[in-house]
Every structure is written in C-alpha cells, then in structure tokens.
Structure 1
Amino acid sequence: MPLKELAERRNMLHRDSDAETVLRHALNDPLIGQVAMVSSFGAESVVLLHMIAQIDKATPVIFLDTEMLFPETLQYQKDVTAELGLTDVRIITPSRDAVLTEDVDGLLHQADTDACCDLRKTRPLAEALKPFDAWVTGRKRYQNGQRAALPLFEKDDGKIKVNPLANWGPEEVKTYMETHNLPRHPLVAQGYPSIGCMPCTTRVSAGEDPRAGRWRDSDKEECGIHFENGKMVRTGKAA
C-alpha cells in the first residue's frame, strides 16, 4: 500500500482514538513495519517515553546527542531511561569526520544555525533511521503555527511518521505527568519550557510563547529533522 494512503487510512481509523491507542497500534501494525521513537529527552518528552515503556520497554528510542546539549539534558536522559526501564535507547552523535571538517571550533551555530542543525541533527538522524520503516515523535499541534494541521500519521521521506500527541495541549501534558508522577526536566523550573542545544536555547519570560527561547531573534523555528521529498523542512516565523 502506498505510504500516503496508509497514513490517510490510519488517520481515519484513529480519528477518535486516544494517544495510547494510536501508539500501541503503530508499534504493532505489520503494514507500518519496524518503528523507532525519536526523543530529545526535553521538557515534555517523558510523557511519550512513559507510554512507550508501558507498551514495550524494548522499543528502540533514538536520542540525538548533538554534543551541544545542556549537561542537565544528558543527565535527565540517563535518569529517565533508568526509571522507566527502557532497554534500547540508542545515543546518536554527529559524524566525527564531518564535525572536524565542518565545525572544528564548535562555532558553526553562530554563523549558520541551519548548517549546524544539518550537521548535528539531520544527517545523524537520517542515518540512525535507515533500519526503520516508521518513527514516533512527540510533536503537538499547539507548539507553533506550522504544526497546526499536524496529523496522527503522515508520510515522511519514504517512512511513516507517527505523532500520537498531535492533538494534546499543555493541560493534557501537565495532567499526564502529574497523574503518573513523572520526573520533570530540571531546566523547566529554571525558565526553559522548550529545551534544545545550549547555544541556541534561552530562558522564556512570563507571557512569552514556550518556544520563544529557541533560536531567539531569528526566523528559525524548527531544527530541520523533518523531511519532505527527501529534503529538510525549514520553517520560519514569517511562513
């Protein structure tokens, strides 16, 4: 079945399903195939990681260590993995040769954030996803304008991308975390409601959009790990 048709059929099937049902189906659907979850272990990541752990702790989880993450994120990844009992967390890093060629001084983000994300996120993720037919993300429609029409299932560069939390809002996330007593990322309490790489993430003031601290004072809103027709999607605030 063509992937676009498969995604459309699954969207119809699960138009009234809850997130856990969508995720369970995705992980066990023979037409979807082999599935991995991609997690940043960021501010809200523990919700989907907890759901994964309830279904199958051996589900592959891909964590991109860009080598520019906050130390708190690296520790949080270890703590959450242990607490949830996840047994197949794959820590992916950028190609050593590529880093030495393209960003030997670690300052590429100052000159070209897109090139830095391509080097440290997009290419390593594309390589890590090669063995899989589909991947699960924690993206949600409320997070910015470009995600407003986000479906539960979508065709993405020859794979199916699954967004079980697409129609969740901040209250659903908060309630789930409190109900299951899940550990919070330590930087959230310090004013970081959305957490990426250390050089490109700043604190957010009261009343600001939660993602305002990501690539502040630039038109960049996404890291570029999403694909259309084999190319990275780059979305700007003016889009």
Structure 2
Amino acid sequence: MLDQTLDARAARLNERYKHHAATEVLRRALNDPDLGRVTLVSSFGSESVVLLHMVSVVAPGTPVLFIDTQMLFQETLDYQVEVAEKLKLTNVRVVRATEREVALNDPDGTLHQFNTDACCDLRKTIPLERELSQFDAWITGRKRFQGGQRTELQFFESEAPSRLRINPLAHWRSQDVQDYLAENNLPRHPLVAKGYASIGCAPCTSPVKPGEDPRAGRWRGSQKTECGIHFIGGKMVRTGANA
C-alpha cells in the first residue's frame, strides 16, 4: 500500500510532474485523483492574472476564492470584477469575515494600527480557512524568486493536517511573469503603474522605490511580511525584505 502521508503524497506528485511546465502542472493537477477537490486562492493583485488566465484556459469553472478583507483598495475591487468578466471565470467566490466577527474584534476598523497579525487573522486567515476546509488542495501564485523560505519551493507541498498546496509558478523568474502578461495581453492592476509591486490592504500597502524588494511596500517599517495565509509545518513563514 502506498504511503498516504501528506509529505509522501507531495513527494510523489513532485516526482510525477518534475519535468512539466506551469500550465501542464496546473492542467493535470486539476484532474489528478491524488489531489481531490482543488481551488485557486487569488488576491487579484499585481501578478494574480497570470494564474487566473491559466485557469480560465484549462478549467474556467474551477472555484476561485477571492479574499475581500473589506480594507482593499477600490482599484482592487474594480479589477477583480474586470478580470473575472474578461476571463469568463464562472465560479469566483468572495470570502469575508462575518459582520459579527468584525463587530466583536474590530468594530472601529483600527485593529491594523496596533496589531497587524490579529487584523490579518480576522480578515484573511480565519475566513479563508473556513472556505478551504471544503477542499483537499489549493493553488497559490508563490514563486522561488520571491526569496526567503520560497527559494526551495516545489510544485507541491504539504499543509498539515490534511491539505496540499500547488505552486505551478514555483520555478518562474520575474521576467517570465512579465513575458506572460505581455504575450497574452492581460489587464494589469491599475496600481502597478503607480509603483505598487505587491498589493494588499490599503492601510498596510505602499509603493516601492526602484531597486527595493517587491514586498517592501507591505507592512512597511515592521517585521511583518506575510499575512498568515502561507505556512510551512503549521507555522507562519516570514519572507521577503524584512525577514
């Protein structure tokens, strides 16, 4: 009998697809019985349209989870609608904290000013986990060139206790992303032209200067570089310029 531990499943999948390109990894993963129910989690940020386009070509009915923290830029909300319509994505699900959760934990909307981790837990991590509990695996846009713990990223990785992550763009370079955007004439997030390289919530995101790490504009001035969505071994991984 095959070893069914998460790590063993991830290793088996990485061996199976190690010579495949990103689109083929995605195409096959969406139909591989070893992965079960799969969803794409998307921020509809600066590079998100690459994976969204790939999904629209391969399987446009794939569930797409969009986390609306209720603190996003209006440009992001508008861009989400534009991209979903342009790519004909038919199963975009908006994920939010409940009104009761926000009323209990952040009634005046100032939690981010003194406890960014708690704010991200409330508005991102907990609502997303609630939705992801319905799935066996999820697709992310993480890439090795983003640095930190991501430098050794594989196509498939385990997420305890019972889920797998799929990283089709793990081996891509920054230029590969730009080439794909141009070759497919994909719409860019409007804030990219204003210097925003990595786009999150409006209060905690700022433009980056030439030569800065792309994630330097997230939670600028603090040690925080991850919202809590990405974990390894059940622990939040700090990556990027401030790690």
TM-score by length of 1: 0.96
Return the alpha-carbon distance in structure 1 between the equivalents of residues 136 and 222 of structure 2: 34
Return the alpha-carbon distance in structure 1 between the equivalents of residues 53 and 13 of structure 2: 23
Matches within 5 A, 1:16-165: 16-157=19-160, 158-165=162-169
Residues 120-163 of structure 1 show CA distances to partners (whole Å, capped at 9, x for unaligned) of 00000000111110000001111131211111100112101000
Return the alpha-carbon distance in structure 2 between the equivalents of residues 232 and 145 of structure 1: 14
Return the alpha-carbon distance in structure 2 between the equivalents of residues 216 and 167 of structure 1: 27
Q: Contact 1:156–1:226 at 8 Å: present in 2 too?
A: no
Return the alpha-carbon distance in structure 1 between the equivalents of residues 147 and 96 of structure 2: 27
Return the alpha-carbon distance in structure 2 between the equivalents of residues 97 and 232 of structure 1: 27
Give the number of aligned pairs: 238
Q: Which residue of 1 aligns with 2:192?
A: 188
Cα distance, 1:214 vs structure 2:
0.6
Question: Structure 1 pair 234/96, CA: closer, same or farther in 2 (3 Å)?
Answer: farther
Q: Where in structure 1 do 4 or more consecutive aligned residues deviate above 4 Å?
A: 236-239
Q: Structure 1: where are the runs of 5+ without partners?
A: none
TM-score by length of 2: 0.95
- Residue 3 of structure 1 pairs with residue 15 of structure 2: no
Return the alpha-carbon distance in structure 2 between the equivalents of residues 184 and 110 of structure 1: 29
Residues 6-49 of structure 1 show CA distances to partners (whole Å, capped at 9, x for unaligned) of 11011112222100011111100011100000000000000000
Q: Which residue of 2 aligns with 1:177?
A: 181
What is the aligned-residue RMSD (CA, Å)?
1.3
Return the alpha-carbon distance in structure 2 between the equivalents of residues 123 and 209 of structure 1: 28
Identity %: 54
3-state SS of paired residue (1:161): strand
Q: Which residue of 2 aligns with 1:199?
A: 203
Residues 65-119 of structure 1 show CA distances to partners (whole Å, capped at 9, x for unaligned) of 0000000000000000000000000001112111111100101011011000000
